[in-house]
Amino acid sequence: MNSKNVTVEVDGQKLRLSNLDKVLYPKSRTTKGEVINYYSQIAEVMLPHLAGRPVTRKRWPDGVDKQPFFEKNMPRGTPSWIRTVNLPVPGSTMDRETIDFVVLEDLPGMVWSANLAALELHVPQWRVGPRGAAKKPDLLVVDLDPGEGADLSDCMEVAVVVRDRLAEDGLAAYPKTSGSKGMQLYAPVSGRQDSSVISAYAHAVADELAEKYPRKILSQMTKALRKNKVFIDWSQNNAAKTTICAYSLRGRELPWVSTPLTWDEVEAGRVVRFEPEDVLDRVQEHGDLLAGLSETGPRVPG
């Protein structure tokens, strides 16, 4: 993609791509054309993690050194072939306010989104059905956030502890980096329990581990207490919350990617940040390390 503006056909859909030579990551000189190229190549393994999930996009139209904005509603000019679902605004009173959310389920949709400089794609732990109704969560997420004095290696240490605790209840955990400071673990659940039940279970596990490992783990929200500890953010299981999708770019100084890991890598505790070419190479080697998330998991206790 060398031209500034081109019209392309992607799986039968025509798309006008603009400003392809605009630099979105000044430090690496990564252009919008290269961002679109990455999302086009990673789509095969990323789409299963987006399918059916209303997506919140974080856009940097002027590059990562400028102000971004979150976008939940479908933007003006959204093609008619992009799937949208009308859902209550998270946190709205009595579910009275609604938003037309975008759902990205195919390659043309991925290219369209990337062309809007939507570097980050955030999704909930639940999906919508064929008619757009929200289902119950099919994933539990454990978000590991290092406080001051802690880093990704500390998160990896805690991740192993969390994995083993979840396994006691029959839950299989899959790790990925956040593409920023921390990481997440995901576990398939039954899809038959409300998000409040999943969140309460995650909270209970976080409290239990914080009590058992008080020097390393924190389950309280208070930021002032996080120094040298890893905060287990159980609240990400709230139905109104989203987390960064696997394989999504992040809007950081370099084009880091939220990258699935092997448990061997986590247990080794080596801090690594992956960029697009690294991730594409990893997919060639490993396939989708999070493919197991498509399986139905057990009910959580509670």
Taking the domains of the chain in order of start, what are their residue ranges?
6-123, 139-294
Please give the pLDDT value at position 260: 98
Q: Is 244 helix (H, G, I), strand (E, B) or coil?
A: strand
Fold match between domain 6-123 and domain 139-294: no
Please give the pLDDT value at position 223: 84
- The pTM is what? 0.96
**79-122 per-position pLDDT tens digit:** 999 999 999 876 655 556 899 999 999 999 999 999 999 999 99
Does domain 6-123 bear CATH number 3.30.210.10? no
| E strand segments, the chain | 6-10, 13-17, 23-25, 30-31, 56-59, 69-71, 83-88, 98-103, 118-123, 139-146, 174-177, 183-188, 217-218, 230-233, 243-244
Q: Name the residue type at position 95.
A: D
Please give the pLDDT value at position 1: 44
Length of the chain: 302
Q: Write the CATH number of the domain with boundaries 139-294.
A: 3.30.70.3300
pLDDT averaged per 10 residues in sequence order, the chain, 302 residues:
79 97 98 98 98 98 97 96 91 72 98 98 97 96 97 97 98 98 97 98 98 97 91 96 98 98 96 95 98 97 90
Please give the pLDDT value at position 84: 97
Please give the pLDDT value at position 187: 98
CA distances from 8 to 102, 112, 119, 139 (A): 21, 11, 20, 36
Q: Is 58 helix (H, G, I), strand (E, B) or coil?
A: strand
Handedness of CA 41, 129, 139, 57 (dihedral sign): positive
